[in-house]
């Protein structure tokens, strides 16, 4: 693996930021209201996970994916 412009640590740090922002976003727009109404169950947890995962995968660059060890 060759990282041309940025170090692996920088790329991983950026990827972690993307994950944190995605989780925060899903919490604020989906999870919080369900928790407040008592409807956050295991099915809602799966949906929240998949929403956050989708957001992350849309935002990660190829370099960040490679630094994290994801394979195409």
Tell me the pLDDT tens digit for each residue of 25-49: 999 999 999 999 999 999 999 999 9
pTM score over 0.85 = no
Percent of the residues in the chain that have a pLDDT greater than 70, as a whole number: 90
Identify the CA nearest to 25 among candidates 51, 1, 3: 51
pLDDT computed for residue 41 by the predictor: 97
d(CA 53, CA 66): 17
pLDDT in tens, 49-64: 999 999 999 999 988 8
d(CA 47, CA 50): 5
Please state, rounded to an integer, the average pLDDT across all residues of the chain.
Answer: 90
């Amino acid at each position: 693996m060759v990282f041309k412009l940025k170090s692996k640590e920088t790329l991983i740090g950026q990827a972690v930021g993307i994950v944190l922002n995605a989780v925060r976003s899903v919490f604020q727009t989906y999870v919080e209201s369900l928790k407040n109404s008592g409807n956050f169950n295991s099915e809602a947890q799966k949906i929240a996970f998949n929403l956050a995962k989708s957001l992350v995968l849309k935002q990660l660059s190829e370099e960040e994916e490679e630094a994290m060890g994801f394979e195409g």
